[in-house]
Chains A and B, each alone.
With several copies, the nearest count.
Chain A
Amino acid sequence: MTDCNMVEAIRLALLEEMDRDATVVLLGEDVGRKGGVFKASEGLLDRFGAGRVVDTPISEIAIAGVAIGAAMMGLRPVAEFQFADYLHPAYDQLVSQAATMRWRSVGTWGVPVVFRAPFGAVNGGGVYHSQSPEAPYCHTPGLKVVAPSTPRDAHGLLKAAIRDDDPVVFFEHKRNYRTLREDVGGNDDVLRLGTARVDRNGDDVAVITYAGGVHLAREAADAVSSRDGIGVEILDLRTLAPLDHEAIARTVTKTGRALVLHEANRTMGVGAEVAAFVAEELFAELDAPVVRVGAADVHLTYNAVEQAAALPSVDGVAGAIRRLAHY
C-alpha cells in the first residue's frame, strides 16, 4: 500500500511498468533531466537511463510519430505532451496515424502507445496551458481515451493503458495533481479500461462526470445534500472512449434525472455525447431533461476573474442539481 497524490501515483505507475517490462520507454519534452515539468517522471532518467527516458526536442509531431513507429517495432512508449494544449500539433499523428494503424493494416500493426496529456485549468495558465481538448479524440475510432480523477484510478488506469495494445490518450487534470492523497494499491492493481465508477451513491439526481468534474460534483453534492436533502449519485466515467454505457444506464435508470458535467467548454463536449445517448436510449427513464454543465464557450484566461467566470462552479452545479431535482 502506497499513499500518493495523483502525480506521484502516475510516477509510480510509470516506474512499476518500466521495472516490469523493458520495452516500456518514456519520451517527451523535459521528461528526463528535469523529471517533467510536473515531476511525473522524476528520477526515472537516473533509474532507467537515457535509452529509455528521452528528453526530446520541442517537436510534438515527432514525439507522437516516433512513439508510434517504435511501438510498431516492439516498444511500448509513453509519450508525454507537456500540456494537453500541445497535443494539437501532433493531432494528425493521433487521429490519422495511431488511430487507423491496426485497422488499415488488417491487424498487422498495433500501436501500444500512451499519449499522456496534463489538461484542464489552473490558476494563471492562460489559453495555452488550460485547455481540455479531449472531445475530438473521443470522436476518433481506434483511440481509447482515459481521464482519471483520483490517485488510485490514475495509477491503476495508467498501468492498464500501458499494457493495452491500442493507443490510449491519457488526460490528467493538473489541478488534481496534488490535492488529494490516498492508497493507490500495489503493482498488481491494474484497473480495466472502459469501466465507470460510482463515486458516490444517491437516489435523486445523477451527476455523470470525469476528472476535475468529479471533485466539483463532490462539493456540489455536499452542498445540496446538507442544505436541500437531495441525494446525488456521482458517476465517474474514468474512460471517455469507449463509454461505459451500462453504467450510465444504471445511474440514469436509478435516478431519472441526469446532469452531465465537464470542464471543457459546453458545445460539442463529451457531455453532448452522454446527453444524446441518454436522451435517445433512456428516454423513457427520464423524469426531467438531461442537463449539461460545462465551461462557457470561450477561451480560458490568465486573469482569475474571467477564468472563474468561464468555468463551471460549485454554485452553478449545485443550482443545476436543485433545478433538476425540482423539475
Chain B
Amino acid sequence: MDADRLREVHRLATLTRAVDERLWALSRQGRAGFVLTGRGHELAQIATAMSLRVGVDSAWLYYRDLGVALTMGVTPHEVFLGALGKADDPHSGGRQLTAHFSSRALRIGSVSSEVAGHLPHAVGAAYAHRVLGDGGVAVCWFGDGAASEGATHEAMNFAGVHRLPVVFVCENNGLAISVPLSLQMAAPVAARAAGYGMPGLTVDGTDVDRVWAAASDAMDRARAGEGPTLLEVGVPRMLAHSSQDDESYRTDEERAALVAADPLVALRRRLVDEGVLSQDDVDAEIASTAESVRDDAHRALDAPDPTPDRLHRWLYA
C-alpha cells in the first residue's frame, strides 16, 4: 500500500475504533441494547472493503463489519441511529440490532443476525451481476463460525460450479462466541477452497498490505471472469462477543494480551516509524475523530423513536 492509502486506512481505523468505543459506552449506559463490534478486525475489514468499488460491487456484511461499512461510506451518525433503535436509521429504521446495515446506494445487502444466512445471497448477487452484465463483484464477509453452516457450503459450491464473481472473506478470530477453532473445524477454512475449485488463501488479518494485496487479487480475478476466491484473514477478537456476553470462557490474562497486541496500535507505531504519519498527526486524528463521533452520537440520541403506526409498513411492497 502506498502512503496515501495507508493514511486512509489509519483514518478509517481510527474512525471505526471511535465509533466502536462510543457504542460500548452507550451500551453500558443502557442506551444501546445489543452491541457487537469488530475491535481487532478493523484493519482486515478496511483493507478488504477498500478493494471494492462502492455502488458497483455488492457487499454482503455480517454483524461485526462496522469497519467495512464505515469504509464504504456509512456514516457514524447512521450507526448510532441504528444502535439506538431510531426511526431515522436508514438501514433498518431501528428494527435490527446494531451494525445491521442495508443500503441500496452503497449496494450493501441487508445484514441479518443469522450466521451464514447471507452467503447464498452474495452468490445470488454474483449470478445477477453476470446475467445483468453490470460489472459487479459480490464481496461477502463472515466469521469462522459461519464456515460450519450448511448454507456456506452450498453457497461456495454454487459459486465454484458457475465460476461466479464473488470474493469470500472469512474473518477468523478463532472463536464462535465461546467455541474455539479446535471444536469448530479440523483444518483451516481456506483448505475448503480446493473442494470448490477455487483458490483459498490464509493471510494475517492485521497486516494491511497483505490483506489489501490478497483482496485486490481476488477482486481482479472475479472481474476477469476467473471465478470466486476464498480469503481467510486471521484476526483477534479483542472484546466480548457482544454486550450480552460475560466472556467467562476467557481469562483476564488472555484479554490483556489481546489488548496489548492491538493491531491498530501496532499500525500507528509502524506508520510513525516509517514516517507516513507523525505522532502529532496521529494524536490529532484521534482527537478530532473522537469529537466528531461524540457529536454524531449526541445527535442520534435526540432523534425520534419509531411510532407504532408504522407497525405493518414495509412488510409487503
Q: Compute how far the CA of A70 lies from the CA of B122 in the bound complex, rounded to whole angstroms.
A: 8
The residues of B that contact A105 with a CB separation of less than 8 Å are 91-92, 102, 110, 314
Task: Please determine whether A104 and B110 come into contact, CB atoms closer than 8 angstroms.
Answer: yes
Contact residue among B95, B127, B180 (Cβ-Cβ distance under 8 Å from A106): B95
Evaluate whether A72 and B125 lie within 8 angstroms (CB atoms) in the complex, with A103-B314, A124-B97, A305-B307 already known: yes
A302 pairs with B123, CB closer than 8 A: no
Q: Known: A34-B249, A104-B110. Is A124-B149 also a contact (CB below 8 A)?
A: no
Given A25-B131, A68-B124, check contact A302 B85 (CB 8 Å): yes
Q: Choose among A35, A74, A92, A165 the residue that contacts B317 (Cβ–Cβ < 8 A).
A: A165
Interface residue? A29 (CB, 8 A): yes
Is the C-beta of B155 less than 8 angstroms from some C-beta in chain A? yes
- B128 at interface (Cβ–Cβ under 8 A)? yes
The prevalent SS among residues of A at the interface is loop
- B83-123 vs A, CB cutoff 8 Å, 1 = contact: the mask equals 00111001111111100101110000110111111011111
Do A107 and B314 touch (CB < 8 A)? yes
Residues of A within 8 A of B109 (CB): 69, 72, 109
> Could you tell me the distance in whole angstroms from the C-beta of B90 to the nearest C-beta in chain A?
8
Binds B, one of A8-16, A56-64, A182-190: A56-64
Given A89-B150, A298-B311, A302-B97, A70 contacting B116 (CB threshold 8 A): no
Does A279 sit within 8 A of B, measured CB to CB?
Answer: no
**Segment among B171-179, B207-215, B230-238, B286-294 that sits at the interface with chain A:** B171-179
Verify if A75 is at the interface (C-beta below 8 Å from B): yes
Contact check, A62 vs B157: say whether CB atoms are below 8 A apart.
Answer: yes
Using an 8 Å CB-CB cutoff, how does the interface string of B15-34 with A read, 1 for contact, 0 for none? Answer: 00000000000000000011
Supposing A59-B158, A65-B154 touch, asked if A104 and B95 sit within 8 A by C-beta, the answer is: yes
Q: Cβ of A65 and Cβ of B119 under 8 Å apart?
A: yes
Q: Are A302 and B34 in contact, CB atoms less than 8 angstroms apart?
A: yes
- Is A78 part of the binding interface, using a Cβ–Cβ cutoff of 8 Å? no
Q: Which residues of B contact A310 (CB under 8 A)?
A: 311
Please tell me which one of the listed residues A55, A125, A305 contacts residue B179 in the complex, with CB atoms under 8 A apart.
A55
A132 at the A/B interface (Cβ < 8 Å)? no
* Max chain B C-beta neighbours (<10 A), residue from A59, A85, A164: A59
CA of A57 to CA of B178 in the docked complex: distance in angstroms?
A: 11
Question: Which residues on the A side are within 8 Å of B146 (C-beta)?
Answer: 58
Is B197 close to A, CB under 8 A? Answer: no
- Hey, which chain B residues are within 8 Å of A309, CB to CB? 308, 311
B311–A296 CB distance below 8 A: yes
In the complex, chain A residues 274-303 whose Cβ is within 8 Å of any chain B Cβ = 296-299, 301-303
Q: Which of A94-102, A150-158, A203-211, A251-259 contacts B (4 or more CB under 8 A)?
A: A94-102
Query: Which residue of chain A has its CB nearest to the CB of B119?
Result: A65
- Tell me the smallest distance from the CB of A278 to a CB of chain B, in Å: 23
Tell me if A123 is interfacial: C-beta within 8 Å of chain B: yes
**A126 interface hit (Cβ, 8 Å):** yes
Q: How far is the CA of A313 from the CA of B97 in the complex (A)?
A: 23
Q: Shortest CB–CB separation between residue B55 and chain A, in angstroms?
A: 13
Contacts of B95 in A (CB 8 A): 103-104, 106, 126-127, 299, 301-303, 306
Which residue, B91, B149, B314, has most C-beta atoms of chain A within 10 A? B314
User: What is the chain B residue whose CB lies nearest that of A34?
Assistant: B178
Complex partner residue of B158 from A51, A66, A108, CB under 8 angstroms: A66
A302 CA to B81 CA, complexed, in Å: 12
Find out whether the CB atom of A66 lies under 8 angstroms from the CB atom of B127. yes
Of A37, A105, A297, A308, which is in contact with the most chain B CB atoms at under 10 Å from its CB?
A105
> Is there a chain B Cβ closer than 8 Å to A52's Cβ?
yes
Is B136 a contact of A303 with CB atoms below 8 Å? no
Instruction: Known contacts A85-B114, A306-B310; decide if A70 and B127 are in contact (CB<8 Å).
Output: yes
Cβ of B257 under 8 Å from chain A: no
In the complex, are the beta carbons of A96 and B131 less than 8 A apart? no
What B residues does A62 contact at CB under 8 A?
120, 123, 148, 151, 154-155, 157-158
B184 contacts chain A at the CB level, 8 A cutoff: yes
A37, B177: Cβ atoms under 8 Å? Answer: yes
Task: Indicate if A110 sits at the interface (CB-CB under 8 A).
Answer: yes
Q: Once bound together, how far apart are the Cα atoms of A116 and B94, in whole Å? A: 30
- Residue pair B179, A59 in contact (C-beta under 8 Å): no
When distances are taken between beta carbons in the complex, the residues of chain B under 8 Å from A85 are 114
Q: Which residues of A have CB within 8 Å of B124?
A: 65-73, 77
Are A58 and B148 in contact (CB-based, < 8 A)? yes
What 10 A-B pairs have minimum CB-CB distances, sorted nearest first? A65-B120, A69-B124, A124-B33, A303-B85, A69-B121, A57-B148, A73-B128, A309-B308, A165-B317, A34-B178
Q: What are 17 A-B contacts with C-beta separation under 8 Å?
A: A23-B131, A37-B244, A52-B131, A56-B158, A59-B154, A59-B158, A65-B121, A66-B121, A69-B128, A104-B100, A105-B110, A106-B93, A127-B95, A302-B94, A303-B306, A304-B85, A306-B306
Given contacts A65-B154, A70-B131, A109-B102, 10 further A-B contacts (CB under 8 A): A51-B130, A57-B158, A57-B185, A65-B117, A73-B124, A93-B120, A104-B95, A142-B315, A296-B312, A302-B85
